[in-house]
Amino acid sequence: MKRLMLMFLLLASPAVWAANETVVIDVEAMTCPLCVTVVNKVLRQTDGVIKAKSSLKTHQAVVIVPEGFDTNKLLQAIDKTGYKGVINKVEKPS
């Protein structure tokens, strides 16, 4: 029974069937903690986003998405908030 349960957990894990990319976005005009909260919220609500975290210190957002994800969706989401995002880099899985 334990073996069957372990096999199920492995097959159900997204890491097994899909690789993820890390997208680093430069976000202009973030000047306060509320800015970070707004950017985080809109990115996390974007379909397909696995994880998103913005930083006031670096003025960047780091977003985890499935491999092959359309990064323009991330930029469009940020644009809706009034901020401007520019893709800094996309790190492919190794």
| CA atoms within a 13 Å half-sphere pointing along the CA-CB vector of 81 | 23
pLDDT, position 81: 95
Per-residue model confidence as pLDDT tens digits over 18-53: 699 999 999 999 999 999 999 999 999 999 999 999
Judged by average pLDDT, the poorest of 1-10, 21-30, 37-46, 83-92 is 1-10
User: With 60 as the cut, is the pLDDT of residue 12 above it?
Assistant: no
User: With 80 as the cut, is the pLDDT of residue 90 above it?
Assistant: yes
pLDDT, position 62: 98
**What value does the mean pLDDT take over residues 63-70?**
96
CA atoms of 12 and 18, how far apart (whole Å): 11
